[in-house]
Chain A
C-alpha cells in the first residue's frame, strides 16, 4: 500500500510493493491517511517526497478490482469506477492544500490517474532510462474527470501538448516530458532521480517556509483546479489579521528576540516560544529563572551559545532547543540538572565534545543531539 517515513524535515511517502500501485479505494484511503499525518506533523521547512517501489509509479485506477467487485455487472463496474474517481479527487485536493512543498520522484510508469497523482506534486522528477507517462483514457474508451483536465490545463501550458497527451494518447519518456513541460527534470536512473529529489527537498527545507502560507500561495497559483476541487483561498485580510498576525510580520519586526531581562520573571515555570521566527541570542539572564521546569525554544533562528550557567535551572525537566542556529559547545553545567528528563539540542551548529557526564544523569530519558558538529561521547 503506502508508507510514510520522516527523516529530518523530509517526509517520504512510498507506494510499496512490486505491483502497479493501482488506485483502488484501499490505496486511496491509505494515501489520504499518510497525507493527513504529514499535514499534522508539518512545521517550517518540512517537505514531502513521493517515491514508488518497482516498475510502476502508478498505473491509474484499479479497473480489474472494479470488474471483479462488480459481480459481472458492467453498470456496477462503471459505478465502482466512478466511485474511485470521486475518492481520488480528495487525494488531489489533499496534495494541492498540503502545507509543504511536494516532489514526486517518478521511477516507473505513470498512467492515467497515476500520472495525475504525479502531477499533483509541485515538482516532478523522472528517470530517463525507463518508464513512460501516458494518459490512456482515449485508448481505453473513457472520458476524463473535470479535475483531470483542470490539472492538465494548470500545469501544461502548450495546447498542442495537451492535445497530444489527452487526445492522441502519446507515450512520453522523461526527456520528451521535460521538453513538453509535463515534468521538471530527467535523471540517469531510478537511484539518481530519487537522489535528485532528496537534494531538492534539502534545498527547499532550508527556506523554512511557513506551511500554511505556502499552501495558500500554491492554491492561488491554480484557481481553476481549486474551483473544481472546491478548495477556497483564505481571504487576504482575514488570513493576515487572524491566522498570521504575528508570523506575517515576524521577519520584519526586527525586535523578535527573547527580551534580555527575561530573568526577571522569577515565577515562570513554562517558557514555550517555539516556531516564532525568533532571532538573536538566548539572554544570559535566563539562568535566573529558578522555577523554570519546561523550556521550549525549538524551531526558531536563535543564534549564539547556550549560556554557561544553564545548570542553574535546577528544576528544569524538559529543555527543547531543536532547530535553531546555536553554536559553541554544550555547557558542562547542563549535566548538573538532576531533574532533566528530556533534552533536545538537535539541528543546530553546536560543536565540541559530548560531555561524558550526560550518561550519568539520573532521569534523562530522551536525548537528541543529532544534526550538529559534535564529536566524542
Chain B
C-alpha cells in the first residue's frame, strides 16, 4: 500500500510494492491517512516527497477491482468506478491544501488517475530513461471527471499539449514533458531523480515557510481547480517581524 517516513524535515510517502499502485478505495484511503498524518506533524520548514517502488508510479483507477467486485454487471462496474472517482477527489484536495511544498519523484509509468496524482504535487521530477505519462481515457473509451480536466488546465499551460495528452492520448517521456511545461526536470535514472527530489525538498524546507500561508497561496494559484474541488481560501497574515 503506502508508507510514511520522516527524515529530518522531509516526509517520504512511498507507494510500496512492485505492482501498478492502482487507486482502489483501500489504497486511496491509505494515502489519505498518510497525508492526514503529514498535516498533523507539519511545522514551518517541512516538505513532502512522494516516490513509488517498481515499474509504476501509478497506473490509475483499479478497473480490475471494479470488474471483479461488480459480479459481471457493467452498470455495477460503472458505479464502482464512479465511487473511485468520488473517493479520489478529496485526495487531490488533500494534496492541494497540504501545508508544505510537495514533490513527486516519478520513477515509473503514470497513467490516467495516476498522472493526476503526480500533477497534484507542486513539482514533478521524472527519470528520462524509463516510464511514460499517459492519459488513457480516450483509448479506453472513458470521459473525464471534471476535476481531471480542471487540474490539466491548471498545470499544463499549452492548449496543444492538453489536446495532445487528452484528445490524442500521446505517451510522453520525461524530456517531452519538460518541454510541454508540466514536469520540472528530467533525470538520468530512478536513483538520480529521487536524489534530485530530496535535494529540492531540502532547499525548499530551508525557506522555513509557514505551512498555512503556503497552502493558501498555493490554492490561490488554482482558483478554477479549487472551485471544482470545493476548496475555499482564506486570508492569513502571520508576518515574521
Contact = CB atoms under 8 A, between A and B. Distances in A.
B18 interface: no
A248 B141 CA distance: 5
B40 interface: no
A65 interface: no
B137 interface: yes
Interface in B48-97: 63-64, 67, 74-75, 77-79, 81-82, 85
B138 A236 contact: no
Contacts of B171: none
Contacts of B77: 249, 253
B137 to A, nearest CB: 7
A277 B139 CA distance: 12
B230 interface: no
B93 to A, nearest CB: 18
Interface in A172-211: 181, 184, 204, 207, 209-210
Nearest to A253: B67
A19 interface: no
A218 B140 CA distance: 15
Interface stretch (A6-14, A154-162, A321-329): A154-162
A240 B78 contact: yes
A221 B149 contact: yes
Interface string A249-267: 1111100000000000000
A213 B74 contact: no
A181 B138 contact: no
B115 to A, nearest CB: 15
A362 to B, nearest CB: 42
Interface string B142-173: 11111001000000011110110011110000
Interface string A228-245: 000001101101110011
B123 to A, nearest CB: 21
Given A209-B138, A210-B141, A181 B160 contact: yes
Given A218-B167, A236-B146, A251 B82 contact: no
A221 B163 contact: yes
Interface size class of B (residues with CB under 8 A): 20 to 34
Contacts of A214: 138, 167
Contacts of B67: 249, 252-253
Contact of A184 (B81, B142, B160, B167): B160
A272 to B, nearest CB: 19
A285 B67 CA distance: 28
Nearest to A223: B149
A207 B167 contact: no
A101 interface: yes
Contacts of A209: 138-139, 141
A245 to B, nearest CB: 5
B159 A213 contact: no
A368 interface: no
A93 to B, nearest CB: 17
Nearest to B165: A221
B142 A213 contact: yes
A236 B143 contact: yes
Given A207-B139, A236-B85, A217 B144 contact: yes
Nearest to A213: B141
B75 A245 contact: yes
A35 to B, nearest CB: 18
Nearest to B143: A216
B167 to A, nearest CB: 6
A247 interface: yes
B217 to A, nearest CB: 22
Contacts of A213: 137-138, 141-143
A160 to B, nearest CB: 14
A246 B75 CA distance: 8
Contacts of B149: 220-221, 223
Nearest to B137: A217
Contacts of B145: 236
Given A207-B169, A245-B78, A251 B157 contact: no
B75 A237 contact: no
27 contacts: A156-B159, A157-B159, A181-B160, A204-B168, A207-B169, A216-B143, A217-B137, A217-B143, A217-B166, A218-B167, A220-B144, A221-B166, A234-B143, A236-B85, A236-B145, A237-B82, A239-B143, A240-B78, A240-B142, A241-B75, A241-B79, A246-B74, A249-B63, A249-B67, A249-B74, A251-B139, A252-B64
Given A122-B163, A246-B74, A251-B139, 13 more contacts: A157-B158, A204-B168, A207-B138, A213-B143, A216-B143, A220-B144, A221-B167, A234-B143, A240-B143, A248-B74, A249-B78, A253-B67, A253-B74
Interface of A: 101, 122, 154-157, 181, 184, 204, 207, 209-210, 213-214, 216-218, 220-221, 223, 233-234, 236-237, 239-241, 244-253, 277
Q: Which 6 pairs, one residue from A and one from B, show the smallest C-beta to C-beta distance?
A: A216-B143, A220-B149, A240-B78, A245-B74, A210-B141, A241-B78
